[in-house]
Chain A
């Protein structure tokens, strides 16, 4: 009974938080003229799927590009952040604090300044319109965050675990791979997930580093679509729904991994 009550509360909280999404879905199913009527329409009774048809046919390619870029970003980010976090949190690497400081301050650099620098560089290196340019650019949104989060989590892992592995003769790298990573699975997945989301949601770098429509990810695709269908609100909202679905699906899958505990079961010797 207690559990059912908690579920009910959870559903109510979700309903409140997701109300704008509901409104969006409502709008995506209504014909355009119903949207700015003075009395809001609560249920899309005279629904239409035209918006979805329009949106899917034009945005499919952009969705795939976004997935590709986001996955690449996760890869680059974890490759840099995981060793760095391990070195900072567990190994007490030299110049710890300057690195953390640098990463925090780096995040404050205005996006447009980063974008300008990236454009000039990508133009010189013939990397405009390539996924690589976007992957590297988007990773700058993720790496500091990933390092900081992983560093916070790894800092909570008791030193005994690492010492035990070292006593067994494992090198630092081995320790990281075989012992620390499994124990920080939760944190790594969180960092990876957020990297995916940051990359997915990026608009500024996407619009800066692509010149051709084919190379653009979904954020730019939606923006252009909205610009082209400025009065066709249900198509516009349909694109929003479509752009969020893959990520929502990813979340539901990933949350199974984010559910397990970190240290429970790791210091049992």
Chain B
């Protein structure tokens, strides 16, 4: 029986090794090498020990980038998950057009980012953008807000768009999770006199936990990896104010052509992912 069980997971193991092991090893190794444009051609990349990491830590942009990453990730996850959960719960109600509306809500997520990014650039444009125009005419602001053109607001703008992109993903998965909670439990609780909030806290949240952990862990990893949204809107600017570790890694590799440094930052991100993966596995073990 043991062999039979292994056979089910064998394709996944094979897949993991064939497709991910080599790139992972390459990236880890590059972080410890002095890797230049020439290295791609000649294959020669002198061993640099921890120098790349030291230089990255000392880079004046690094501290700010880490802060941005924390704020961006926390802000995105909080709102994507919160709003996604609220919508998932809302759509559990029975009303006409429920299915159609729910499917159409996935559209922000499946629009090519190069297109929705451009649409958002127009909407957030300081002078002619419709967001500023609307806020001004509603007298909610006095001056147009330089959403993408100011170091103090750019990160907020980018987070806003990322939340918009991520809500559907959270909503769909959480909705699926909600569906696996039998209606009988809710009915019984209602008979016992429990209100909507109590039902949510004592039935929904606990039974949703496995799905919640997956959504949050995956959400964290995907948010750390977010690249296109930031690049299309601000390229990490102005002046690195919306630069996250992922865009910083890209910048080091392809703007400054310092591939070893870029890989070093990439490795830092992998370490972060490892930490959260361990956290997820602990939480998962506790629940089963």
Tell whether any CB of A sits under 8 Å from a CB of B in the complex.
yes
Residues on A facing B (Cβ under 8 Å): 3-4, 6-7, 9-11, 13-14, 17-21, 23-24, 27, 35-40, 79-81, 83-84, 86-88, 91-95, 97, 99-114, 116-117, 136, 140, 143, 145, 147-149, 151-153, 155-156, 171-172, 176, 186-187, 190, 197, 200-201, 203, 218-219, 222-223, 226, 236-237, 239-240, 243-244, 247-248, 251-252, 254-256, 258-264
Q: Which residues of B contact A155 (CB under 8 A)?
A: 210, 288
8 Å CB contact of B107 from A7, A18, A109, A186: A18
Q: Please, which residues of chain B bring their CB within 8 A of the CB of A187?
A: 176
B contacts with A, residue count (CB < 8 A): 100
B277 touches A (CB below 8 Å): yes
Complex contact A110–B249 (CB within 8 A): yes
Given the known interface contacts A113-B26, A140-B20, the answer about A153 and B180 at a Cβ–Cβ threshold of 8 Å is yes
**Is there an interface contact between B250 and A106, defined as CB atoms closer than 8 Å?**
no
Given contacts A97-B281, A172-B4, A186-B176, contact A13 B87 (CB under 8 A): yes
Closest to B128 in A: A38
**Nearest Cβ distance between residue B102 and chain A, in whole angstroms?**
6
Contact A105 B6 (CB under 8 A): no
**Bound-state Cα–Cα, A116 to B4, Å:** 36
Decide if B119 touches A23 in the complex (CB within 8 Å): yes
Given A11-B101, A21-B107, A190-B173, the answer on whether A109 and B182 have CB atoms closer than 8 Å is: no
Extra contacts, 7 of them, besides A261-B182, A262-B179 (Cβ < 8 A), are: A10-B95, A20-B123, A93-B5, A99-B13, A152-B214, A244-B115, A248-B104
How far is it, in angstroms, between the C-alpha of A244 and the C-alpha of B221 when the chains are bound?
Answer: 25
User: How far, in angstroms, from A244 to B106 measured CA to CA in the complex?
Assistant: 11
Chain A interface, >50% SS class: helix
In the bound complex, CA of A236 to CA of B115 (Å): 8
Residues B12 and A81 in contact, CB atoms below 8 Å apart: yes
Q: Across the interface, which residues of B come within 8 angstroms of A7, CB to CB?
A: 95-98, 101
| A218 neighbours in B (Cβ, 8 Å) | 112
Q: Chain B nearest CB: distance from A55 CB in Å?
A: 11
Q: Do A243 and B115 form a contact, CB below 8 Å, given A104-B273, A140-B20?
A: yes
Known contacts being A3-B96, A102-B20, A147-B12, is A153 close to B5, with CB within 8 Å? no
- The main secondary structure of chain B at its interface with chain A is helix
Chain A proximity of B16: nearest CB distance (Å): 5
Q: Which of B2, B26, B112 touches A201 (beta carbons < 8 Å)? A: B112
Tell me, in angstroms, the Cα distance from A256 to B103 when the chains sit together. Answer: 10
Whether A239 and B115, one on each chain, are in contact in the complex, defined by CB atoms closer than 8 angstroms, is yes
Mark B82-106 against chain A: 1 for CB-CB distance below 8 A, else 0. 0000010011011111111111111
Give chain B residues whose Cβ lies under 8 Å from the Cβ of A27: 119, 122
Contact assessment for A110 and B27 in the assembled complex, using a CB-CB cutoff below 8 Å: yes
6 closest cross-chain pairs (CB), A and B: A240-B115, A87-B8, A84-B12, A108-B273, A6-B95, A104-B277
Least Cβ–Cβ distance between A122 and chain B, in angstroms: 13
CB pair A24–B176 under 8 Å, yes or no, is no
B195 within 8 A of partner (CB): no
Q: How far is the CA of A58 from the CA of B98 in the complex (A)?
A: 36
Q: Give Cα distance in the complex from A228 to B8, angstroms.
A: 48
